[in-house]
A and B are shown apart, each in its own frame.
Chain A
Amino acid sequence: MSFNLTSAFTIYRAELLRFLRTAFGSLVSPVLTTCLYFIVFGAAIGGRMNEVGGVPYGAFIVPGLLLLTMLSESTSNASFGIYMPRFTGSIYELLSAPVGVAETLFGYVGAAVTKSLILAAIILLTATLFVDFHIAHPVAAFFFILLVASAFSLLGFILGLWADGFEKLQMVPLLLLTPLTFLGGTFYSIDMLAEPWRTVALFNPIVYLVSGLRWTFYGQADVSIAVATGLTLLFLTICIVIIGTIFQTGWRLRE
Chain B
Amino acid sequence: MKSAGLAPKQSFVDTILDIRGLSKTYPGRGNAPPVTALDNVDLQIRKGEIFALLGPNGAGKTTLIGAVCGMVRPTGGSVSAFGHDMAKDWRRMRSRIGLVPQELSVDIFEKVHRSVAYSRGLFGKPADPARIEEVLRTLSLWDKRDSQLRALSGGMKRRVLIAKALAHDPDLLFLDEPTAGVDVELRRDMWQTIGRLREQGVTVILTTHYIEEAEEMADRVGVISKGRILLVDDKHEMMKRLGRTEASFTLAAPLDSLPAALADYPVTLEEGGRSIVFRGGDGSGLGKKQVAEIARILVNGGIEFDGIDQHESSLEDIFVRLVDEKGAKAA
- Whether A96 pairs with B99 at a CB distance below 8 angstroms is yes
With A90-B107, A96-B70, A254-B70 already in contact, the answer to whether A7 and B121 are too (CB < 8 A) is: yes
A193 to B241, CA, bound (A): 88
A59 to B91, CA, bound (A): 51
- Whether A98 pairs with B121 at a CB distance below 8 angstroms is no
- Whether A93 pairs with B122 at a CB distance below 8 angstroms is yes
- Could you say which interface size class chain B belongs to? 20 to 34
With A250-B73, A255-B71 already in contact, the answer to whether A97 and B122 are too (CB < 8 A) is: yes
- Whether A10 pairs with B122 at a CB distance below 8 angstroms is yes
Residue B94 at the chain A interface, CB threshold 8 Å: yes
- Whether A88 pairs with B119 at a CB distance below 8 angstroms is no
* Nearest B residue to A22, CB-CB: B109
Q: Which of A229-246 contact B (CB under 8 A)?
A: none
Q: Which residues of B contact A98 (CB under 8 A)?
A: 90-95, 123-124
A10 to B126, CA, bound (A): 10
Q: Which of A128-184 contact B (CB under 8 A)?
A: none
Residue A53 at the chain B interface, CB threshold 8 Å: no
- Whether A254 pairs with B122 at a CB distance below 8 angstroms is no
Residue B103 at the chain A interface, CB threshold 8 Å: yes
Q: Which residues of B contact A88 (CB under 8 A)?
A: 105-108
1/0 per position for B23-48, CB-CB distance to A under 8 A?
Answer: 00010000000000000000000000
With A21-B109, A85-B107, A98-B90 already in contact, the answer to whether A92 and B124 are too (CB < 8 A) is: no
- Whether A89 pairs with B103 at a CB distance below 8 angstroms is yes
* Nearest B residue to A6, CB-CB: B124
1/0 per position for B81-108, CB-CB distance to A under 8 A?
Answer: 0000000001111110101010101111
- Whether B107 pairs with A6 at a CB distance below 8 angstroms is no
With an 8 Å Cβ cutoff, the count of chain A residues facing the other chain is: 30
Tell which of A90, A96, A97, A255 touches B26, judged by Cβ atoms closer than 8 Å: A255
Q: Which residues of B contact A35 (CB under 8 A)?
A: none
* Nearest A residue to B121, CB-CB: A10
Q: Which residues of B contact A90 (CB under 8 A)?
A: 105-107
Residue B56 at the chain A interface, CB threshold 8 Å: no
Q: How far is the CB of B95 from chain A (nearest CB, A)?
A: 4
Residue B118 at the chain A interface, CB threshold 8 Å: yes
1/0 per position for A96-122, CB-CB distance to B under 8 A?
Answer: 111110000000000000000000000
1/0 per position for A5-29, CB-CB distance to B under 8 A?
Answer: 0110111011001100100000000
With A6-B121, A11-B122, A14-B118 already in contact, the answer to whether A96 and B103 are too (CB < 8 A) is: no
A88 to B157, CA, bound (A): 14
Residue A227 at the chain B interface, CB threshold 8 Å: no
- Whether A6 pairs with B125 at a CB distance below 8 angstroms is yes
- Whether B71 pairs with A254 at a CB distance below 8 angstroms is yes
* Nearest B residue to A11, CB-CB: B122
Q: How far is the CB of B83 from chain A (nearest CB, A)?
A: 16
Q: What are some 10 contacts across the A-B interface (CB < 8 A)?
A: A6-B125, A7-B124, A14-B114, A90-B107, A92-B71, A92-B105, A96-B99, A98-B94, A99-B122, A255-B66
Counting from the closest, the 8 A-B pairs by CB-CB distance are A10-B121, A89-B105, A98-B91, A96-B69, A98-B94, A98-B95, A4-B124, A255-B72
